[in-house]
């Protein structure tokens, strides 16, 4: 055993004693680590695809919202009020208000 490993063991554990591991539970994945990774990937696919669709929709909404935010800033609507109505941060409202959406 390396010195590094023995340093982290508690003093009550002998170096040459085998470690006791817990019995597998019913909800533990069976099979190889590759099987567990494949199952995890399958579990991520549907929510990941849904998230990608929602992010794309949010980008489309931001594109449509940007000129309206610029118009509101130029009309004198307070940043805080724009942020409340759109759920866009005040920093983003300020940044968008300084930019020209036509550029």
Q: Cβ of 86: how many Cβ atoms within 10 Å?
A: 17
Q: Which residues contact 99 (CB under 8 A, 6 or more apart)?
A: 70
Taking the alpha carbons at both ends of the chain, their separation in whole angstroms is: 65
pTM above 0.85, yes or no: no
Quick one: pLDDT at residue 8?
A: 46
The 3-state secondary structure of 43-88, one letter per residue = HHHHHHHHHHHHHHHHHHHHHHHHHHHHHHHHHCCCHHHHHHHHCC
Rounded CA gap, 99 and 47, in Å? 34
Dump pLDDT digits (tens) for 14-42.
Answer: 455 555 555 455 555 568 999 999 999 99
């Amino acid at each position: 055993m390396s010195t590094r490993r023995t340093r982290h063991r508690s003093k009550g554990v002998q170096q040459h004693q085998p470690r006791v591991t817990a019995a597998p539970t019913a909800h533990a994945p069976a099979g190889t680590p590759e099987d567990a990774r494949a199952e995890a990937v399958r579990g991520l696919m549907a929510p990941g695809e849904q998230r990608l669709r929602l992010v794309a929709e949010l980008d489309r909404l931001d594109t449509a919202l940007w000129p309206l935010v610029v118009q509101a800033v130029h009309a004198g609507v307070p940043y805080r009020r724009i942020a409340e109505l759109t759920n866009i941060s005040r920093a983003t409202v300020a940044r968008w208000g300084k930019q020209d959406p036509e550029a």
